[in-house]
Chains A and B, each alone.
Chain A
Amino acid sequence: MDSKEFIARRIAKELKDGDVVNLGIGLPTLVANYIPEGVNVILQSENGFIGLGQAPEAGKEDKDIVNAGAQLVTIKKAGAYFDSATSFGIIRGGHVHATVLGALEVDEKGNLANHMIPGKMVPGMGGAMDLVNGAKKVIIAMIHTSKGAPKILKKCRLPLTAVGKVGLIVTEMAVIEVTPHGLVLKEIAPGISVEDVLKGTEADLIIDDELKIMEV
């Protein structure tokens, strides 16, 4: 199993039956593939619908049904379309239980930077700022380091996407919860030591008394 699948499988276990969930583009999208049987999660696509389904079968594509990454998708039977104001009313209004997003940097205060690298990558925030502010739970899905450099920092250095909104960080090495006291290391991946995690993390970590091994 590759790292991304491992992360997606672990995050899928965080989702509860009946949750309305928005998955970001890329790694977060993979989470949809691993939602446990019997757990009915309603996926929102911020360009304007709930009930986001799988990619269409060949020959059954509909040019009018796309996700927020402009990929052709399907809508489930109980789905519904709406305009962008309603879509972001759902998001800002607290009607989304969880959002899963990628990150460039996260820090001890739950601050998130995931929308730009000045001078290098300025794609625009899209719906990320609204999602991070409005979703009840913000889960970060990311590879623990960037070419060995920590991404979980004492303080974000890149421009922030939101202040203090991250709840949980899931990487291929660890599950880390953001608490008022700081970052708590809750789980480590099989074959990974606490020292490995600390080495790949700039932020201070509080080791949970009941530290567990990540199960997927």
Chain B
Amino acid sequence: MDKIKTIDEIMLHIKDGMTIMIGGFMGVGTPERIIDAIVDSGIKDLTIIANDTGFPSIGIGRLVVNKQVKKVIASHIGLNPETGHQMNSGELIVELVPQGTLAEQIRCGGAGIGGFLTQTGLGTTVEEGKQKINIKGTEYLLELALKADLALIGGSIVDKQGNVFYNASTRNFNPLMATAADVVIVGAEKIVEVGEIDPHHVMTPSIFVDYIYGGKK
């Protein structure tokens, strides 16, 4: 199967109301060209799971500014004032999650693990509504796994089979999200032939990747 698609073919998989994980950290490692297409499409009512909501003009922030998002699950929204503005006006639901908890929830989602125990958030608003479990005298919060309908991943070098290499700090949430969604689409900076990425350097194995968009084909 040819995993490399045109942007029109990619957009057939992105629909109103979906829960979408989007990789990247303040836009670094986010597949911007797929975001471009979502902004143009007018798709709405999305639930976005991501580390942050970027900046108003970068990354996931653009989807928020364009009012295509109904709910955000993220660790940080501070660099995109529009997210806070929509949250305060009641237009957008924002669930703030400690960054390490968010990463581990996604890892669990992709690894067939129902949840995990952590001390992060104990005694804070994060513990509200969550089960506490005492193990050998130490209290933990039970945090549950997260999954999504779709993951949009940013890859630096992607081979035609879908093996992904992430350059430098673009890796962040990308390899975790690639395991935790029903459909995984990689926005590639560069697409190469199979075999051009040394198997030692593959960070997301191709089995996780459904479609590839981008490169300079």
**Chain A 131-164 per-residue mask, 1 if CB under 8 angstroms from chain B, else 0:** 0011000000000000000000000000111111
- The A interface is mostly helix, strand or loop, or mixed, namely loop
- The B interface is mostly helix, strand or loop, or mixed, namely mixed
A63 to B125, CA, bound (A): 35
Contacts of B52 in A (CB 8 A): 124, 126
A160 to B175, CA, bound (A): 31
Mark the stretch among B9-17, B62-70, B166-174 that contacts chain A: B166-174
Shortest distance from the beta carbon of B111 to any chain A beta carbon, whole Å: 10
Contacts of A164 in B (CB 8 A): 123
Q: Does B75 contact A (CB under 8 A)?
A: yes
Q: Are A124 and B168 in contact (CB under 8 A)?
A: no
Q: In chain A, what residue has the closest Cβ to B121?
A: A129
**Chain A 7-49 per-residue mask, 1 if CB under 8 angstroms from chain B, else 0:** 0000000000000000000000000000000000000011111
Q: Which of A86-124 contact B (CB under 8 A)?
A: 87-88, 91-92, 111, 121-124
Report the contact-size class of chain B (Cβ under 8 Å from the partner): 35 or more
Partner of A83, one of B76, B102, B118, B175: B175
Contacts of A92 in B (CB 8 A): 100, 118-120
Q: Are B171 and A83 in contact (CB under 8 A)?
A: yes
Partner of B26, one of A66, A84, A128: A66
Contacts of A124 in B (CB 8 A): 52, 74-78, 96
Q: Does A70 contact B (CB under 8 A)?
A: yes
Q: Are A64 and B99 in contact (CB under 8 A)?
A: no
Shortest distance from the beta carbon of B137 to any chain A beta carbon, whole Å: 16
**Chain B 27-65 per-residue mask, 1 if CB under 8 angstroms from chain A, else 0:** 111000000000000000000000110010000000000
Q: Are B103 and A85 in contact (CB under 8 A)?
A: yes
A128 to B76, CA, bound (A): 10
The 6 closest A-B pairs by CB, nearest first: A123-B78, A88-B100, A163-B123, A130-B100, A70-B26, A64-B168
10 A-B pairs besides A70-B25, A84-B100 with CB distance below 8 A are A48-B171, A64-B29, A65-B168, A68-B25, A83-B172, A88-B99, A91-B100, A126-B99, A128-B98, A130-B120
Chain A residues proximal to chain B, CB less than 8 Å? 45-49, 62-66, 68, 70, 75, 81-85, 87-88, 91-92, 111, 121-130, 133-134, 159-164
| 17 residue pairs A–B, Cβ–Cβ below 8 Å | A47-B26, A81-B169, A84-B25, A85-B106, A88-B99, A91-B100, A92-B120, A111-B123, A123-B78, A125-B126, A126-B52, A126-B75, A127-B75, A127-B98, A127-B99, A160-B124, A163-B124
